[in-house]
């Protein structure tokens, strides 16, 4: 089975557009600009993982972990889970062709309208009508939908019964999962979801509507060249306005990494909040004039993952994988139910609590994580059965999202990205989330476990999988790093100027100037679609977002697209 990516040996020196990173933002840019007839290269630092090859056993999962902390680093640079241990906060992001979409839960929600009415955004975002069009396009391509069987799932019922006592009725949030199966907008024939619960380990069925199965497949179909193991270090502008993209090759199998320089008149950064901010910070260190706001307004989106252990009701929220590790159980997608705590007066108080599923490959580690001296108790002996039938059948996992003050800051420390947010753990959102989750867990008869790894190398810092900001939007360079179209402000222009570096864009989570209060993928995708619509106007490009016709390809055989 073949994939979408090519060997870096085939990369050319020059393209019309170089897209850096291949998550939601990068995927949208690659698809739309390839549709516009541009010669596009996508540079992704991670590797391509085809449907069927995501980790399903614990040893495989362990190999998919790369951890970077203060003066330490373990794991392969192409491992899927990229954990950054920070002194103030930890961050988890995805690494691979498709970015975070490969390992996320796929919850796709529009934020409350008050989020975009905040004066922190440039006015055009709420006013020019293209945000709504961007969201519509994102929805047409990612097809968010609620599980029609959600209310029948044990984990949904567990949330329902715990929530009821507290006066909350869950709803089934929309997720980027194909529950019916069928050919998607990019011409990929996605099978129906088996409700195996392994979304956050990577979907081995092909039912999760990832960026790889949509925007990247579409980009490749329209001639974009996709390269993996290509980590961009920084960008620099030539006198004639050409961008030089400095790339580190990570495909050397242990040999010393080699560097390449590629050129293009347009560079679109879609390397994610951490990746794009780091590239810009390094580019500034190499002389590019960028806003003083660069690195600022980092938000964790009030996001946490937490657990309830010892509930008196069944939960069934450990994935069974595909092929299933046990028969006759339907777990559901990683998120099937959500409790919404609204506040019409104070947006900051709003919370979304989602019941989550841990991927099956993590099952063997659960006894060690949750039972003191689990190893000695021999809990590892009957791992699989124990996990599905024993106390772990009652383990509740929660993903919760809200708002924070976006007061984090990225800096370069010895040429590497560092997150600084001294009072992060005192953000009021964490107390609110603890209180709500404690009541839900207590109502289910269990105990709240905020972080089973607290006190280990993880310390007691909060952790997020929704990093946002660092290259936030603003009206001008004094209050933002990019404008409402994602164009990067040129700080060499006079103060107050809205001049931009022609041809340099950011289109990912880094451009958010604040928390969103809902899971961010749909907003990132919608804003990237919006940025492409503006780019089409500015450069006189023509493209549509019509679904692809013709022969459909299988999720595990995307390479057929290139071969055709």
Ligand X SMILES: Cc1cc2nc3c(=O)[nH]c(=O)nc-3n(C[C@H](O)[C@H](O)[C@H](O)COP(=O)(O)OP(=O)(O)OC[C@H]3O[C@@H](n4cnc5c(N)ncnc54)[C@H](O)[C@@H]3O)c2cc1C
Binding site for ligand SF4 (CB under 6 A): 177, 193-199, 203, 205, 207-208, 322, 333-334
Residues 183-222 that bind ligand X (CB under 6 A): 200
Q: Which one of 295, 462, 469, 520 is in contact with ligand X (CB under 6 A)?
A: 520
**Which single residue is written with the structure tokens 């603890």?**
434
Is the CB of 272 or the CB of 386 nearer to ligand X? 272
Minimum CB separation of residue 366 from ligand SF4 in Å reads 18
Minimum CB separation of residue 56 from ligand SF4 in Å reads 10
Backbone angles phi, psi at 537, to 5 degrees: -65, -45
Can you point out the beta strands (E) in 250-350? 258-264, 266-269, 304-309, 335-341
| Interatomic CA distance for residues 510 and 116, integer angstroms | 16
Q: Cα 56 vs. chain centroid, distance in angstroms?
A: 20
- Is 111 a binding residue for ligand X by CB under 6 A? The answer is no
Q: Which one of 15, 24, 298, 309 is in contact with ligand X (CB under 6 A)?
A: 24
**How many Cβ atoms from other residues are within 10 Å of residue 147's Cβ?**
22
**How many Cβ atoms from other residues are within 10 Å of residue 321's Cβ?**
24
Q: DSSP characters for 217-277? A: HHHHHTT-EEESSEEEEEEEE-TTS-EEEEEEE--STTSPPEEEEEEESEEEE-SHHHHHH
381 φ/ψ sector (left φ>0, alpha ψ -120 to 50, else beta): alpha
Up-side HSE of residue 202: CA atoms within 13 Å toward CB? Answer: 28
- Is 103 a binding residue for ligand X by CB under 6 A? The answer is yes
- Is 101 a binding residue for ligand X by CB under 6 A? The answer is yes
Partner in contact with 208, chosen from ligand SF4, ligand X, none, beta carbon below 5 to 8 Å by kind: ligand SF4
Under a CB-based contact definition with an 8 Å cutoff, are residues 399 and 335 in contact? yes
Q: Which one of 32, 38, 45, 293 is in contact with ligand X (CB under 6 A)?
A: 45
Partner in contact with 99, chosen from ligand X, ligand SF4, none, beta carbon below 5 to 8 Å by kind: ligand X
Partner in contact with 555, chosen from ligand SF4, ligand X, none, beta carbon below 5 to 8 Å by kind: none
Partner in contact with 46, chosen from ligand X, ligand SF4, none, beta carbon below 5 to 8 Å by kind: ligand X
- Is 95 a binding residue for ligand X by CB under 6 A? The answer is yes
Minimum CB separation of residue 371 from ligand X in Å reads 24
Minimum CB separation of residue 276 from ligand X in Å reads 7
- Is 107 a binding residue for ligand X by CB under 6 A? The answer is yes
Three-point CA angle 47, 319, 193, nearest 5°: 75
**Which single residue is written with the structure tokens 């870096």?**
8
Strands 17-20 and 40-43: parallel
- In terms of Cβ atoms closer than 10 Å to its own Cβ (0-12, 13-18, 19+), residue 368 is middle
Minimum CB separation of residue 5 from ligand SF4 in Å reads 22
Residues 127-146 that bind ligand X (CB under 6 A): none
Q: Which one of 3, 46, 202, 526 is in contact with ligand X (CB under 6 A)?
A: 46
Q: Which one of 521, 527, 532, 558 is in contact with ligand X (CB under 6 A)?
A: 521
Q: How many residues bind ligand X (CB under 6 A)?
A: 41
Partner in contact with 519, chosen from ligand SF4, ligand X, none, beta carbon below 5 to 8 Å by kind: ligand X
| Interatomic CA distance for residues 290 and 294, integer angstroms | 7
Partner in contact with 198, chosen from ligand X, ligand SF4, none, beta carbon below 5 to 8 Å by kind: ligand SF4
| Interatomic CA distance for residues 398 and 383, integer angstroms | 22
Q: Which one of 3, 55, 75, 100 is in contact with ligand X (CB under 6 A)?
A: 100
Is the CB of 105 or the CB of 449 nearer to ligand X? 105
Residues sharing a CB contact under 8 Å with residue 272, sequence separation 6 or more, in sequence order: 21, 23, 25, 93, 99, 100, 467, 508, 509, 510
Report helix, strand or coil for 19.
strand
Can you point out the beta strands (E) in 357-485? 396-401, 409-413, 416-420, 447-449, 463-464
Is the CB of 195 or the CB of 352 nearer to ligand SF4? 195
Partner in contact with 272, chosen from ligand SF4, ligand X, none, beta carbon below 5 to 8 Å by kind: ligand X
- Is 23 a binding residue for ligand X by CB under 6 A? The answer is yes
Is the CB of 379 or the CB of 527 nearer to ligand X? 527
Partner in contact with 23, chosen from ligand X, ligand SF4, none, beta carbon below 5 to 8 Å by kind: ligand X
Q: Which one of 19, 30, 36, 43 is in contact with ligand X (CB under 6 A)?
A: 43
Binding site for ligand X (CB under 6 A): 20-26, 43-46, 92-96, 99-101, 103-107, 200, 231-232, 270-273, 275, 279, 465-466, 508-509, 519-521, 524
């Amino acid at each position: 089975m073949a994939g979408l990516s090519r060997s870096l040996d085939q990369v050319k020196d020059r393209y019309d557009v170089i897209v850096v990173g291949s998550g939601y933002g990068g995927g949208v840019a690659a698809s739309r600009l390839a549709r516009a007839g541009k010669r596009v290269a996508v540079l992704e630092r991670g590797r391509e993982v085809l449907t069927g090859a995501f980790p399903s056993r614990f040893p495989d999962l362990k190999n998919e972990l790369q951890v970077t902390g203060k003066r330490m680093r373990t794991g392969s640079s192409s491992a899927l889970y990229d954990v950054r241990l920070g002194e103030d906060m930890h961050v988890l992001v995805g690494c691979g062709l498709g970015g975070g979409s490969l390992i996320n839960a796929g919850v796709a929600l529009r934020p409350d309208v008050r989020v975009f009415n905040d004066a922190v955004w440039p006015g055009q975002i709420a006013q020019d009508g293209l945000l709504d069009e961007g969201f519509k396009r994102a929805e047409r391509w990612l097809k968010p939908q609620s599980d029609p069987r959600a209310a029948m799932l044990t984990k949904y019922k567990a949330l329902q019964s715990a929530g009821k006592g507290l006066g909350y009725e869950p709803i089934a949030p929309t997720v980027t999962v194909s529950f019916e199966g069928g050919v998607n907008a990019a011409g990929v024939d996605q099978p129906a979801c088996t409700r195996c619960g392994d979304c956050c380990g990577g979907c081995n069925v092909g039912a999760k509507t990832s960026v790889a199965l949509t925007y990247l497949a579409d980009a490749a179909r329209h001639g974009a060249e996709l390269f993996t193991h290509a980590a961009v270090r920084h960008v620099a502008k030539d006198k004639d306005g050409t961008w030089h993209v400095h790339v580190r090759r990570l495909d050397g199998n242990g040999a010393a990494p080699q560097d390449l320089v590629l050129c293009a008149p347009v560079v679109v950064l879609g390397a994610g909040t951490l990746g794009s901010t780091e590239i810009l910070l390094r580019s500034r260190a190499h002389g590019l004039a960028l806003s003083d706001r660069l690195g600022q307004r980092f938000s964790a989106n009030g996001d946490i993952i937490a657990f309830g252990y010892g509930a008196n009701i069944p939960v069934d929220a450990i994935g069974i994988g595909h092929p299933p590790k046990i028969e006759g159980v339907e777990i559901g997608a990683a998120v099937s139910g959500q409790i919404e705590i609204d506040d019409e007066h104070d947006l900051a108080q709003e919370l979304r609590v989602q019941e989550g599923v841990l991927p099956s490959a993590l099952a063997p580690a659960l006894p060690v994580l949750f039972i003191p001296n689990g190893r000695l108790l021999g809990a590892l002996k009957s791992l699989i059965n124990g996990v599905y039938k024993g106390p772990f059948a009652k383990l509740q996992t929660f993903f919760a999202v809200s708002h924070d003050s976006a007061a984090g800051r990225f800096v370069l420390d010895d040429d590497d990205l560092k997150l600084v947010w001294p009072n992060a753990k005192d953000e009021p959102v964490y107390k609110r989330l603890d209180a709500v989750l404690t009541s839900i867990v207590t109502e289910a008869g269990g105990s709240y476990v905020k972080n089973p790894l607290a006190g280990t190398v993880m310390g007691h810092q909060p952790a997020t999988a929704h990093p946002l900001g660092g290259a936030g939007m603003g009206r001008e360079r004094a209050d933002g790093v990019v404008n409402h179209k994602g164009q990067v402000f040129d700080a060499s222009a006079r103060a107050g100027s809205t001049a931009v570096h022609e041809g340099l864009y950011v289109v990912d989570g880094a451009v958010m100037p604040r928390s969103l209060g809902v899971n961010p993928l749909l907003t990132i995708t919608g804003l990237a679609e919006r940025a492409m619509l503006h780019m089409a106007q500015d450069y006189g490009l023509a493209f549509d977002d019509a679904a692809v016709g013709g022969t459909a390809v299988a999720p595990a055989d995307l390479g057929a697209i290139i071969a055709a």
